[in-house]
Amino acid sequence: NAGVTQTPKFQVLKTGQSMTLQCAQDMNHEYMSWYRQDPGMGLRLIHYSVGAGITDQGEVPNGYNVSRSTTEDFPLRLLSAAPSQTSVYFCASSERGGVNEQFFGPGTRLTVL
């Protein structure tokens, strides 16, 4: 099992550009989440999904869109990148939500100039 994979590992964008961060898991987990990690802050929840076709907003959703068309994939879209979105992004999955451990991907380091 590859676990949770994320692409790309690194990305540099200019302000106003859009892009999609990819996340996939091969553990057949229903629950998936996106977090961002900023210096001096804990991991903050951006969006989450409790199954294919079901997504909802987390703590810091503004500027991001998600969709979940399959169990395996949970892409995060930046609509119009801003310097405030410079961060490290982690995708995570779990078997039954928060009563089970989260499995994290390796992260994507995004810089917006």
* H, E, C per residue of 87-107: EEEEEEEECCHHHCCCEECCC
Smallest gap from Cβ 104 to other proteins, in A, equals 4
Among 24, 25, 105, 110, binds other proteins (CB under 8 A): 105
Burial grade of 84 (CB within 10 A; 0-12, 13-18, 19 or more): exposed
Considering only the stretches 20-28, 61-69, 70-78, 89-97, report the one whose residues sit in contact with other proteins under the rule CB under 8 A.
Answer: 89-97
Reduce the DSSP state of residue 97 to 3 states and report it: helix
Q: Which of residues 19-78 bind other proteins (CB under 8 A)?
A: 31, 33, 35, 40-45, 48-50, 56, 58-59
Tell me phi and psi for residue 83, to 5 degrees. -55, -30
- Report if residue 87 touches other proteins, rule: CB under 8 A: no
Tokens of 98: 């928060």
| Binding residues for other proteins (CB under 8 A) | 31, 33, 35, 40-45, 48-50, 56, 58-59, 90, 94, 97-107
